[in-house]
Amino acid sequence: MEITGLSVAEIKELAKRPAEAGEEFILALARDQRIGVREIYRKLKKAESAAVAEAQRLAKLFVYEDDLRAKGYNPVAGVDEAGRGPLAGPVVAAAVILPEGAYLPDLNDSKKLTPKKRELLAGQIKELALAWAVGISTVEEIYRQNIHYAGLAAMRRAVMKLKVKPAYVLVDGFRIEKLEIPQIPITGGDGLSASIAAGSILAKVERDHIMDSYHESYPEYGFNRHKGYATPEHLNALARLGPCPIHRAGFRSVADSISINGWYIRAR
């Protein structure tokens, strides 16, 4: 491909679609000695290297799923929860069954992603997944069972709501009790398994939406900003106002606020 007659601006436009331009275009860029063209070539090669590295990272995320499929277990679901640490709101879990060979660039543990990236990936996951479902444990259940068992209950509900029954389940953290499907608990699974990572993203996005809706009822607490976590803003609101009905009365920071403000009866 001959590009010497093209301006740098014209070449830059072609470089926006390198796959369409073809391999000869890349070779022509490498031969061109113009500073502007050399910069375009450098950026394209950098992007190419990043794409290869991302593909390799994503392939590693499917090690557990691929191993189970090789053993005859198909489909495989991943499940994770969001909301273990906050002082308010429910714990939300999501289960996801991704198709074999699924390609979701930037898929990762939800905690490592920006809110905007989580929202984008959540839409892609829902569109691509063979099945996905959400399970919730309420503030009342957290109070009765403790956060650990409430989180497991939310994950079990998410798995059981899947429209496609999984042959095996990959679980972030701890084994789910009363789940009559083979499972593998994986510590740090949201960073090691693609299916669990997808579940962590859907759970986080769903819970954030729930906390945004609670902000409409209790705007003075700022739930749309901190999502119920123990930020200085949230703790200051608790000290001033006491808890509202969606606060977790069994958590020490909330209990201290109840004690200080004498709101226990109203909060429960």
Q: Please write the tens of the pLDDT for every residue from 31-83.
A: 999 999 999 999 998 888 888 888 898 999 999 999 999 999 999 999 999 99
Measured between alpha carbons, how far is 137 from 152 in angstroms, rounded to an integer? 9
What backbone torsions phi and psi does residue 248 show, to the nearest 5 degrees? -90, 100
Q: Which two tokens stand for residue 228?
A: 């119920």
Cβ(142)–Cβ(248) under 8 Å? yes
Pairing type for strands 168-172 and 183-186 reads parallel
Cα dist from 251 to 139, 143, 203, whole Å: 11, 9, 22
Per-position pLDDT tens, the chain of length 268: 788 889 999 889 888 888 777 888 989 999 999 999 999 999 998 888 888 888 898 999 999 999 999 999 999 999 999 999 999 999 999 999 999 989 999 999 999 999 999 999 999 999 999 999 999 999 999 999 899 999 999 999 999 999 999 999 999 999 999 999 999 999 999 999 999 999 999 999 999 999 999 999 999 999 999 999 999 999 999 999 999 999 998 776 677 665 555 443 333 2
H or E element at residue 267: helix 264-267
Angle at CA of residue 135, ends 230 and 250, nearest 5°: 35
Q: Which domains does the chain have, with CATH numbers?
A: 8-60 (no CATH), 63-206 (3.30.420.10), 214-267 (no CATH)
CA distance 57 to 61: 7
What does pTM read for this prediction?
A: 0.83
Q: How far apart are CA 152 and CA 170, in angstroms?
A: 13
Name the amino acid, one letter, at 24: E
